[in-house]
Copies of this chain bind each other. A is one copy, B any other.
Amino acid sequence: MREFELIGKAKELFRVERKDVIVGIDDDCALVDVGTMLALTTDCLHEKTDFPRGIKPEEVGHLALAVNLSDLAGCGAKPLFFLYTITLSNRWIDNFERLLKGMKNLADKYNVAIVGGDTDFGDELHISGFAIGKAERFVGRDGAKVGDKICVTGLLGKAQLSLEQLMNGLGRDEIAYPDSLFKPEPKVEEGLRIAEHANSMTDISDSLAISLHQIAKASGVGIKIYEEKIPLDHLTRFVDYKKALELFLYSGGDYELVFTSKKPEYLEIGEVVEGEGVWMVRRNGKVEEIEFKGYTHI
């Protein structure tokens, strides 16, 4: 988790006291006031660590936008504009147009205008994205209240399961959930709807465990989830129960949202409690601590 140490340094250094900066570098998105409340976010992807073997150029473009739309969704912001930088390695130059088309298809779906880009050349394909959204009701990680229910928008572990199958030699048509891995859908509309009632929210980038820790810490609360509430059938068809549970808790890439609210919806898995830390009540009644860990890279 070297990444989190470095992020910590940046947060410390870039803390600002400004009336127009409501949320700074601390959350999925920044929240700024320019007369209108805007959510700003950025994310980068590169070939060696973020793109599974066999990915199509259109899917690369899709992913680069999707990862940023997911950040906006995680704050309940409506996406408006997107800008990108692309460093093309030789083998990607001929696929540049297909990559852009994948980006555009997703942009059109959510009415996002792609208004800027910078293109250059290097040894590895590298894409950074920058998205701007309108945040009428910005939901950060820091608003969880004791008594809130913990909910996620969908089943977790599908992307990592599929990735592991791919790395074990299966083809992209043979893996369990190819769309979860190659063309995940950012939960844009869900995020907007949930923002109407949620007290805290974030998208699940690295793992459910990490997202829950981030909410618990930012909100000054504890979080308890129940093993018996965690659906695993979508995973136990392919792996044993223990592995399935690990995938659900500790893997990322599914582009789902986790939120806390007095009005549970989607998949309810636990609740916000007094105290600190993230805990799981096992089927046998024992309470175990959920570690701060996740698969941050493929």
Binding site for B on A (CB under 8 A): 2-3, 6-7, 9-10, 13-14, 16, 18, 20-21, 24-25, 29-30, 32, 34-36, 38, 40-44, 46, 48-49, 80-81, 83-85, 87-88, 93, 96-97, 100-101, 104, 113-124, 126, 128, 130, 132, 134, 297
Contact = CB atoms under 8 A, between A and B. Distances in A.
26 contacts: A9-B100, A10-B119, A14-B114, A16-B115, A24-B113, A25-B117, A29-B116, A30-B116, A32-B80, A32-B113, A32-B132, A34-B134, A40-B83, A40-B130, A42-B85, A42-B116, A42-B118, A44-B85, A44-B118, A44-B120, A49-B121, A85-B128, A120-B297, A122-B124, A128-B128, A130-B130
Contact of A113 (B16, B113, B119): B16
Given A25-B117, A40-B116, 16 more contacts: A3-B121, A6-B119, A7-B119, A13-B101, A13-B104, A14-B104, A16-B113, A35-B35, A40-B115, A40-B130, A43-B85, A44-B120, A46-B87, A46-B122, A87-B126, A123-B124
A9, A113, A123 — which one has the most chain B CB atoms within 10 A of its CB?
A113
A139 B104 CA distance: 27
Contact of A20 (B6, B18, B80, B126): B80
The 7 A-B pairs with the shortest beta carbon distances in the complex, nearest first, are A30-B115, A128-B128, A44-B85, A130-B130, A85-B128, A14-B114, A42-B83
Given A13-B104, A14-B100, A25-B115, A3 B128 contact: no
A15 to B, nearest CB: 10
A105 to B, nearest CB: 11
A104 B14 CA distance: 7
A96 B48 contact: no
A81 B14 CA distance: 12
B10 A120 contact: no
A94 to B, nearest CB: 11
A49 to B, nearest CB: 7
Given A13-B97, A16-B113, A3 B120 contact: yes
A100 B7 CA distance: 11
A88 to B, nearest CB: 8
Contact of A87 (B21, B44, B81): B44
A112 B107 CA distance: 29
Nearest to A17: B113
Contacts of A43: 85, 118
A287 B209 CA distance: 69
A20, A87, A101 — which one has the most chain B CB atoms within 10 A of its CB?
A87
A37 to B, nearest CB: 10
A9 B97 contact: yes
Contacts of A3: 119-121
